[in-house]
Amino acid sequence: MTAQEIRERIIGAVSRNGGHLASSLGAVEIAMALNEVFDAGKDRIVWDVGHQAYAWKILTGRDGRFDTLRRRGGIAPFPLPSESPADATVSGHAGVALSTALGLAAARDRTGGANHVVAVIGDSSIVNGTSFEALNNCASATGKIIVVLNDNKMSISRPAGSFSRFLGRLITGVRYNRVKKAAENAGHALKLTFLRGLYHSVESRIKGLFLGNRLFEQMGLRYIGPVDGHDLKALTGAFTVAKEDKRAVIVHVVTKKGRGFAPAERNPTAWHGVGPFEGGELPAKKGGTWSDAFGEALLGFAKKDARVVALTAGMKDGTGLAGFEREFPDRFFDVGISEGHMLAFAGGLAAGGMRPVVAVYSTFLQRAVDQLMHDVAIANLPVVVCVDRAGVVGADGVTHQGLYDIAMLRCLPNLTIVQPKDAEDLEALLSEALERNGPTVIRYPRGQVPEKTAADSVPAKPRYAIWATGDWYGKAREIAGRTGSVAVHARTIKPFDAALLKSQREAGMKIVCIENGCVAGGLGEAIGADFRFGWPDCYIPHGSPMELEKEFGLDADSITEVLNG
Active site residues: 257, 339, 367
Evaluate the CA torsion angle 378, 133, 126, 272 in order and state its sign.
negative
Strand partners, 44: 117
User: Could you count the other beta carbons within 10 Å of the beta carbon of residue 529?
Assistant: 24
- Residue count of the chain, please give it: 565
C-alpha 492/C-alpha 420 separation (Å) is 9
Are 441 and 469 a contacting pair, CB within 8 Å? Answer: no
Q: How many CB atoms lie within 10 A of CB 531?
A: 15
CB burial string 162-183: b at 16+ within 10 A, e below: ebbeebeebeeeeebeebbeeb
- CA atoms in the 13 A half-sphere facing the CB of 46: 24
d(C-alpha 314, C-alpha 464), whole Å: 44
How far lies 549's CA from each of 340, 542, 554, in Å? 32, 12, 5
Decide the pairing of beta strands 355-361 and 384-388.
parallel
- Largest separation between any pair of C-alpha atoms in the chain: 94
Determine if the peptide bond prior to 226 is cis (ω within 30°).
yes
Q: What is the DSSP track for 455-508?
A: PPPPPSS-SEEEEE-GGGHHHHHHHHHHHT-EEEE--EEES--HHHHHHHHHTT
Rounded to whole angstroms, how far apart are CA atoms 139 and 12?
A: 43
CA–CA gap between residue 519 and residue 404 (Å, rounded): 9
- Sign of the torsion formed by the C-alpha atoms of 390, 392, 396 and 397: positive
Q: What CA–CA distance (Å, rounded) separates 540 from 362?
A: 15
